[in-house]
Amino acid sequence: MDVKAPDHIEFAGDYNCEHIFLHNHYGVVIDIKNMVQELNVYESIYKNALTGSIVIVDAQNLITKLEIQGLERISFTISTPGTTDSRDIINASEESGHPFHVYKITDRKQVQPGILLYTLHFGSREFMRNLRTKVSQAYDGRLDRAVYAMFLDENYLDSRKTLTFEPCGNSDKIVVPNMRPFDAINMIARKALPEKSNGVGYYFYETTKGYNFRSWENMVTTEGKFRRKTKQVFYYMPVNITDSENIDNKIEHEYKSVEDYRFINNFHDIAANTAMGTYGHRVLTHNLYDKSFATDDYNYHTSFAETKHTDFTTSQFDTEKYVVGESDTDETPADTQRQTSKVSDYPESRVSVQSTTQYLHNDKAGAGYGLDVLEDGRKLGQAIAQQAQVIQGTCLKLIIKGQSYIEAGDLIEFKMRAVDEKNPDGEEDPQYSGNYVVTKVRHQINATKYVMVLECAKDSVKTGYSKLNKKIPRNKNIATLRDTYIEEKGDTFGGNTSI
């Protein structure tokens, strides 16, 4: 791990990291870079804080001399050579004020005489603050303001990091009853509605660049209506490069090349998604104020065009990029008016019951305050379906060369070739190529290289499925019933006529 010029890239996967400092509980600081076997940092849109681990090969018995016990801090800076923007750097240095806090030591063992191997687990300061504080307070007004009030409050998260937020379009009075800060913010996130789009629900998560409070639509669009620029384009099949081309082009190509990929979940699990209400969902709403009931049915196919998705463009065919087609699934129509039996035509696949009132605390603060009771049931069905589409939809795992500027929540493009021996021109897969949102990132560095493992999700397909809808022929068989008592009458096997 020799020090080199920070702007010089020797190979794809190269990185800058001059020091990795360990700060013990009584102020001693030591550079452990040459003792580090592997360093991992984890971020995810589903997690509220950064975590990581560092594997140490200790031939100096530092674990005893420094009294390592889980109260230490770790500081370092990692960057891809050539990056200049501060947001493109993983800065956990003492100077930035954001070092990581060690909270656990595991896997301690002696690998050779005089050599110990152990793993230090660490998290961000907010990770530890969340465990040590509780919120008991009422918040009134726009929901994103309640979030950054808890985020900045010295009695709660007391964060000094950047919070990038999407303004909410709804306000409410929220009472937080002795909850951990992350639990309270997640509760608010489920209620939040974007100001400039039709999505439902927010994600509150930390990346190596700071905190984010935003909706899924904000990850795939800007201002809820414009295409978001992809952070990087990746290929799986290599492109032929001649020896006459310069080294910069080869390195750039290697940064865009995927070492390996696989789909990590059952994105064709129609049964599981049906049961979760991804396609059809009935919500029964009870209005606490006037004691009325309402029934709202969520239909995946008719609601698809109301929100933006990963493969959003300005094309008129965007509204048809469903992850599952509109074909009939049964010979008996579920929608008697349209005579169809699509997966979305069965609202009773999942039934939810909720109580609601717009002015829960008898405080009518004007338009946008609370959620209109006529919208509450529909929004709940949409929120549950949207979350299932992301978590249970198409999920892809990529292994790429380390690029410190990529973070969870980024939009990328994956040009995946169709797997076909008769595809000499390298045509892309019509459904599973295209845009993906990075949902999880693992930054991994060792003595020689920097690697990233990305998990990515999409809630649409690049090209919509065929709209040809062939009706399923009706089965002409007739169900029959058999009465075992009648069938077995007179059967006196063994000479027993009664018991």
- Output the pLDDT for position 225: 87
Residue at 251 is within a domain: no
The one-character DSSP state at 33 is G
Q: Measured between alpha carbons, how far is residue 124 from residues 42, 168, 260 in Å?
A: 11, 26, 30
| Domain end point (choices 368, 391, 414) | 391
pLDDT digits (tens, 9 = 90+) for 233-285: 999 865 454 444 444 578 888 999 999 999 987 556 889 899 999 999 999 98
Number of domains in the chain: 3
Same domain, 103 and 152: no
Residue at 215 is within a domain: yes
Residue at 416 is within a domain: no
Same domain, 151 and 43: no
Same domain, 157 and 51: no
**Segment among 94-103, 198-207, 375-384 with least mean pLDDT:** 375-384
pLDDT digits (tens, 9 = 90+) for 172-209: 889 999 999 999 999 999 999 999 988 899 999 999 99
What CATH number is attached to the domain comprising 149? 3.55.50
Residue at 455 is within a domain: no
| Domain end point (choices 228, 252, 280) | 228
Same domain, 280 and 385: yes
Residue at 450 is within a domain: no
Q: What is the mean pLDDT of residues 288-303?
A: 88
Q: Measured between alpha carbons, how far is residue 269 from residues 58, 263, 323, 344, 460 in Å?
A: 47, 13, 11, 14, 15
Same domain, 24 and 120: yes
Range of the domain at 87: 20-127
Same domain, 104 and 134: no
Same domain, 275 and 379: yes
Residue type, 347: P
Residue type, 28: V
Residue 253 burial (C-beta neighbours within 10 Å; 0-12, 13-18, 19+): middle
Residue at 8 is within a domain: no
- Output the pLDDT for position 242: 45
Same domain, 62 and 158: no
Instruction: Identify which of 220, 267, 281 has the alpha carbon closest to the alpha carbon of residue 439.
Output: 220
Same domain, 105 and 151: no
Same domain, 134 and 209: yes
pLDDT digits (tens, 9 = 90+) for 115-158: 999 999 999 999 999 999 999 999 988 999 999 999 999 999 99
Residue at 253 is within a domain: no
More confident residue, 483 or 22: 22
Query: In angstroms, rounded to a whole number, what is the distance separating the alpha carbons of residues 4 and 16?
Result: 8
pLDDT digits (tens, 9 = 90+) for 7-32: 788 888 999 999 999 999 888 999 99
Residue at 430 is within a domain: no
Same domain, 334 and 319: yes
Same domain, 328 and 380: yes
More confident residue, 315 or 59: 59
Q: What is the mean pLDDT of residues 57-68?
A: 90
Q: Measured between alpha carbons, how far is residue 482 from residues 479, 487, 489, 490 in Å?
A: 10, 7, 13, 16
Share of the chain above pLDDT 70, in %: 89
More confident residue, 181 or 88: 181
